[in-house]
Structure formats: structure tokens, C-alpha cells
Structure 1
């Protein structure tokens, strides 16, 4: 029973409509949704993680764009929220003028999510989020061995590769083509994720004081997305 209601939640069916259909009040639906989404969010590390063996991941990425050694593609996406009632609420206003969380994802070759960071306001730059993330530290300490591809907004280093801004040779042009083709997987991931969970495209209104529930919603949707991709039940 609980799973049915939570499933309809992640499909972004409004609580009142679902509650009316099943004889439940909106407050009851809200409690069910909150409970189940919290449980899903708390289990996210079971589904959102890098594979133990990365050789297959590198081979799969190389099969996309012939770029060797890649274990993930990083990017951020904005999840709209209502104006948080906090002292630094304007920090959540992004460069496009609306309030959001800037959510970082490292995606895999099959559109699964290997890592997610949900706690940053919309005004914060993608590069800052990455360089302050736990996963960046893991790459620096070589706990994860491989290359991450990012766009030109990131600073290139030993493990994060970005496009060449002014390719001057055929070799550099081939690098950019391979980079773009491979990194496109994370753009497709975001497209699939937000189509699957329309709540990520509208203004999440949960917990205006702390945005705690918004983080929970993002983790919940990411967990469900990644588990779906891993079990091969996705309809792309």
C-alpha cells in the first residue's frame, strides 16, 4: 500500500488527487510521502555509488566516444524551489533569476547516478561545488582511479578533464569531439531524470526554512532513478 502511494509521488501525481482516489486526506498523503521519501533517501548509498570494479565502466564510456579512462561525467542541474525563509535566502537565486538548489551529479555510461551533492544554493558555481565535494577528495587521494569529464566551467586537473577552448591541431579537435560525445551522457541523464520525476522541474515547496525536505526529495528521486537504470527497467 505504502509503495503504491510513494510510486505515484515520484511520478509527480499531486497528493490531493491521489488521496481523493484512495480515500485519504491530503495530510495523510503528505505523511506517507514524507516517510517513504525519507526512507528512500536514507538508502541512497546502496544505489548511488561508483562500481567496485571500474574496468567495465571505463570500457563502456570508451565505447561511447572513444575517450579512454573515463569513470564518470560531472555536471550540475538546477532544481527550482520557493524562496527560502532564511537570512541568506537570496543566495538561492541563480543566474537565471529564479530560486533553486544547484545539484551536482556524476553520471555513468548507462545514465545511472554514481554520486550526487544536493546541499548548495543556486548561486554557487558548479566548479566550487565539485572542489568542495567528498568525491573530489576521493579522486585526489586516488581512492577512485580514473578520469571525470566536465564542461569548460570546471578547472582542469589531473583527473578532471575539460574541453580545449581553442583547439589548434587535428589531434586537439579529435579530443574535443571525443570529450563532447562522451560527456553528453550526463546531459541525457538529466533529461531522463527530470522527465521521470516532474517534481524536479516545478518549484519544490517543502521545508522553506531549511530546505531539508528538498534535499530529501532530490535524493529520493535520484535513488529511484539509479535503481531503475541498474535493474534495466528504464523506458528510454
Structure 2
């Protein structure tokens, strides 16, 4: 964990680690490159969606206790992990916030554990909560864009209160591993290797949470999120999925009368 641990807000984490350990930047880079694939072999053990009835029950209860929304299996959102632009003439890594980054989609449970990265699955009776930048499905519930009733307003408030949990987790994760925070100056690794480091830091974050490690120092509000409040258009081919999501959301709204 020391390779990416909490460092002051200064330049490259490689130089900082080298100064702390007495190694050159090149040696630190080689160590990261050698260790990352070894740790990645264990990622599926430490980053996983709840599957057993008891695991699902505990997550449902944990989220319900936050703001009263039942059956939530996780909160999903994207966050920008800064990297150095791999090519000065390649704009594909430059996001709308005008810096090079990998947009990382994460699912978080009620305890702040990362349970999935780039989630693409359905969850039977459970569902995820996402902001209005996500499409509405039966397994991914978004807030009401223009609430027109008190029940819809109360549902939106509960949705927001629950969803802020993931922003809190992003802060803990990036504070614990400053190499994935924008203050590091961007990871000085290729995009492929950077993705591996991102997954490894998620795995180590979960291990730290489960072990009851000390809380990392707080960061300023995360400015690296990819929030998009615009409701995406619903293509005809996905209209049925959207309608199923409308029904699921309405059943939840009815609980807030």
C-alpha cells in the first residue's frame, strides 16, 4: 500500500515514494509495474457484488437506514482518474473538464466498499441508484427530472441523501491513494497500466476498510467527478427498458406519500 499511500499535495507520486523509500524514480516505476499484475490476480476476491442472500440483505438494510429507499444494492457514479496525456496530439484522453483522465465507473455499497468497476449487469430484485446522467432502467433508478408532487420531491431528497455516499467514498479512496487524485499531477504510466493501478487501489481500499484502518485525511470536494445532470435521450430500442424503470421508480415514489 505504500506505493500509492497518502502524500502531501505535491507533484508526481513516483518522486515522493522514491524520496520516502530511498529509491530512484525509475526503481519505483519498475516496482509498480512488477507488483500491479500480481495484485490484480486477487482483485475479484476483494471487489465483488454481494451474491448470497445474507450479503444482499445486509446491503439492503444498510442503504435503507440512510434515507428509506429499499432494495438498493449499490450506488453507481463515475469519477475522473488523472493521467498524463499519452500523446500531445491525441485528444481522446481529454475530457470536458479539460485534463487527461480515465473515466472510471464505480459501484459502492453502504459501508464504502467498492463492489464493482464498470458495472454491466442486472441485479434481479435489487437495483442501483445513479444520477440523472444515467438511463432509467428497472435495475438502475435515477431521480425524477422535474418532480411534480410532494412524494416525488421526497423521493428525490432520499435519492440524493443516499447517493452522496459515493462522493464521500471517492474522497476517502483518493485521499488514501493520492496517485489517483488530481493533485498528484496525473499518473506517469500508460493508460493500460494506469487502469491496472486504479483497480489495485480499489482492492487495497476495500482491504483497508474491512480491516478498520484509520480514516485518511479529508480532501477538498472531489472536482474530478463526471456529473451530468442532463437526462439522456431514450432510443426506441430501449424504450421497453426505460418503461420498466419508470414502473420501478414509481413503486418507490409511492412509498414516500
Smaller-chain TM-score bracket: 0.7 to 0.9
C-alpha separation in 2, matches of 1:186 and 1:147: 15
| Compared CA separation, residues 146 and 35, structure 1 to 2 (3 A) | same
- Flag as ranges the 4+ runs of structure 1 deviating above 6 A: none
Q: Which residue of 2 aligns with 1:40?
A: 39
C-alpha separation in 1, matches of 2:20 and 2:162: 44
CA displacement at 1:50 relative to structure 2: 1.2
Q: Runs of 5+ in structure 2 lacking a partner?
A: 217-257
CA displacement at 1:12 relative to structure 2: 4.7
Q: Which residue of 2 aligns with 1:107?
A: 108
Q: Which residue of 1 aligns with 2:242?
A: none
Please, which of 107, 131, 134 is the counterpart of residue 154 of structure 1? 134
Question: Does the CA contact (< 8 Å) of 1:9 and 1:33 recur in 2?
Answer: no
Q: Which residue of 2 aligns with 1:206?
A: 189
C-alpha separation in 2, matches of 1:26 and 1:229: 29
| Compared CA separation, residues 40 and 170, structure 1 to 2 (3 A) | same
C-alpha separation in 2, matches of 1:104 and 1:213: 17
Give the length in aligned residue pairs. Answer: 206
CA displacement at 1:114 relative to structure 2: 0.5
| Compared CA separation, residues 21 and 108, structure 1 to 2 (3 A) | closer
CA displacement at 1:219 relative to structure 2: 0.9
Q: Which residue of 1 aligns with 2:2?
A: 7
Question: Does the CA contact (< 8 Å) of 1:10 and 1:221 recur in 2?
Answer: no
Deviations 1:3-33 (A, max 9, x none): xxx5243335844454455554433332222
Question: Does the CA contact (< 8 Å) of 2:82 and 2:186 recur in 1?
Answer: yes
Q: Which residue of 1 aligns with 2:212?
A: 232
Deviations 1:123-160 (A, max 9, x none): xxxxxxxxxxxx32x30xx5x54110000101111111
| Compared CA separation, residues 170 and 78, structure 1 to 2 (3 A) | same
CA-based RMSD:
2.1
Aligned pairs for 1:75-224 (under 5 A) are 75-85=77-87, 89-117=90-118, 135-136=119-120, 138-139=121-122, 142=123, 145-201=125-181, 202-207=185-190, 211-224=191-204
Please, which of 59, 80, 104 is the counterpart of residue 57 of structure 1? 59
Partner SS state of residue 128, structure 2 = strand
Deviations 1:145-184 (A, max 9, x none): 4110000101111111111111111111111111111111
What is the TM-score when the length of structure 2 is the normalising length?
Answer: 0.73
